[in-house]
Structure 1
């Protein structure tokens, strides 16, 4: 049975089996879903899928489509499989390996999320640029300025349009007896773009 019975994104982090693998947090995940502009039949590639939180959110929204999660970390792959089972999603395929190579084996896709590139961002975006249809979307999250700058550079060097970057700063309330303190989380840059060209609405 699916652990999430709602239509809205932003599944609480506590719903996922996490381990020590980095995970896109629920508030950021909700924004990422909006920037991806998913359709019911969208096919998403989740690069650096980690625990599978973004993949699972997307799979629940794209019931007529498919989600491919690419990951090379053994612990992350195990967590993805456990979370896939916990949420009961069948349209989520877990792919093991380096993203720049594995993504070449996926026949068709119209959405790409890059949460971790393993230093292969340039190669991944070059492949995505060649394969993504006009109007397709790519969303990238980055913690460091360097990764954000590289992502923007590569998007501009390829045929992407409507490039947008936002910085998201989340603070969480922490109970300290009678009081609640707000603790700041790492600022996340969310970079999104559309593939240029003539969109076929066919």
Structure 2
């Protein structure tokens, strides 16, 4: 299936799911807006899950490259299946995020959706590997990770740090009425690498 639109937010129901967490379509749309992707961007998706963000990014980065990192074996299979379904090429790395990041030379954008408890190290490696004016975006669901993300981004040297809380409710039909059903709030934190180490 080809996604024929230029706007982000591929409906969740189009992705092959399984038991791996997936970023919801509305959150993906905001996340992609914070990444500020270009056609020639090299983007890394850390903790790619089902590959939903990476696949959306691949529709934009047609002259660049999108690299999906995932440690979960089921996630790797889902990323492969979903990239085939949507007809996009992703470079897929299976393993520990920090180790996989070290294998990549340079990149322009990174989204961290999962860190496996190594958030500080991952952000440090991302700062080293990002090109000047590269952007790091972190999606998280807990206040603790929000705090740590902002703290590490500042300490490591990122600037223009931005944070938004995304609260989405979707209409659910109950008889002849529509009830708004809330999804989990998501924090989206971003920073820009404006100076070299």
SS in 2 for 1:29: helix
- Show the 5 A alignment for 1:1-202: 1-2=1-2, 4-90=3-89, 92-197=90-195
Q: Please, which runs of 5 or more residues in structure 2 have no aligned partner?
A: none
Q: Please, which runs of 5 or more residues in structure 1 have no aligned partner?
A: none
Alpha-carbon distance in structure 1 between the residues aligned to 2:136 and 2:66: 14
Alpha-carbon distance in structure 2 between the residues aligned to 1:19 and 1:131: 32
Deviations 1:56-103 (A, max 9, x none): 00001000000000001011111000001001112x111000001100
- Residue 197 of structure 1 deviates from its aligned partner by 2.1
- Residue 129 of structure 1 deviates from its aligned partner by 1.2
What's the TM-score, normalizing by structure 1? 0.95
Alpha-carbon distance in structure 2 between the residues aligned to 1:154 and 1:21: 27
SS in 2 for 1:68: strand
SS in 1 for 2:67: strand
Alpha-carbon distance in structure 2 between the residues aligned to 1:164 and 1:145: 15
SS in 1 for 2:160: strand
